[in-house]
Structure 1
Amino acid sequence: MKFKIEFSGHENIRSNHQKTIEITKESHLTPQGDCIVGVNANHACADLPQDLKEKLKNPDSKITFSIDVGEHNFTIEGKGHPDLILTHDEDIVIRKSDFVCPRTLAVKCDKASDLLPREMVSMLQDPKTKGTFTITVD
């Protein structure tokens, strides 16, 4: 099962957080939001289809996330968790830890925003840049 989320860049994207990656529906971003890689997303946790949410709650699910910006691709692998809430109206966060809150989409991910290629980060610092965040659950 695949689900795509479109998002935009923002001049304050830093992408240097060592534990999380976030995309948000919000349009405003301060430099403190150092895990955020995209704004103006067209979906948040609460908007995901119910069948996808069920698969994300399965701890045996293999979840792959792909961030595509121009010719660049960044892939992250993570795990589902039975305690996922998936109700946040604005944000999606994937985490290296196993912390769960309404914004958490996956846990035990193998990468965080600090590993996003710097060329991608530079492109995402332009508000005109568009990106795609793809969730694939096997």
Structure 2
Amino acid sequence: MKYSFRCFGHENIRAKHHKTIEFTKSSYLTPRGTCIIGIRADFDVSNLNRLSNKIKITVKVNEIIDIFFAKVNPNFNDNHEIVFRKSNYHSKRTLGFNLNKGAKDLNRDILKLMQNPNSIMEVTLEESR
């Protein structure tokens, strides 16, 4: 199973959180959202719910790519946000846990580009072994 969606940049993207990465459908971001790396995400929760086991998440802006991994939370069910966590904590917003990177660990060139509201990030999730 492989699924892709897009999200957009915002001037307040900082990506300084050590333990989480988040995508949101919100159209605005405050400076407090330190784990959010993309807004106005166009994901479909029914497609995300088809993922299982361990997943590889690839984020791409222009030609710059970063990759991270997580285990799928089978109880994910949020139409507004996707959260990946380093911990084992599960909530309906948590798509992935046992994440291998936090927002602060991602490629800074990507995150700098995502501070531009016109930047588009392509996010691809695929099952991994």
- In which range does the TM-score fall when normalised by the shorter chain? over 0.9
Q: Is the 8 A contact 2:19 2:101 kept in 1?
A: yes
Q: Which SS does the other structure have where 1:48 is aligned?
A: helix
Who is 2:72 aligned against? 80
One-letter identity of the residue aligned with 1:121:
L
1:93 to 83, 87, 102: 83
Partner in structure 2 of residue 53 of structure 1 = 49
Q: Which amino acid aligns with 1:27?
A: S
TM-score (norm 2): 0.92
Q: Percent identity, please.
A: 34
Which structure has more helix as a fraction of its residues?
1
Give the whole-Å Cα distance in 1 for the aligned partners of 2:69 and 2:112.
Answer: 23
Distance 2:62 2:80 in 1: 24
Give the partner amino acid of 2:28: H
Residue 62 of structure 2 is aligned to residue 70 of structure 1: yes
- CA distance in 2 between counterparts of 1:55 and 1:137 reads 7
Q: Which residue of 1 aligns with 2:37?
A: 37
Q: Which runs of 4+ in 1 moved over 3 A?
A: none
Deviation at 1:86, TM superposition (A): 1.8
**d(CA) in 1 for partners of 2:93 and 2:61?**
23
Q: Is the 8 A contact 2:49 2:77 kept in 1?
A: no
Once the 2 structures are TM-superposed, how far is the Cα of residue 53 of structure 1 from its aligned partner? 2.0
Matched, 1:14 2:14: yes
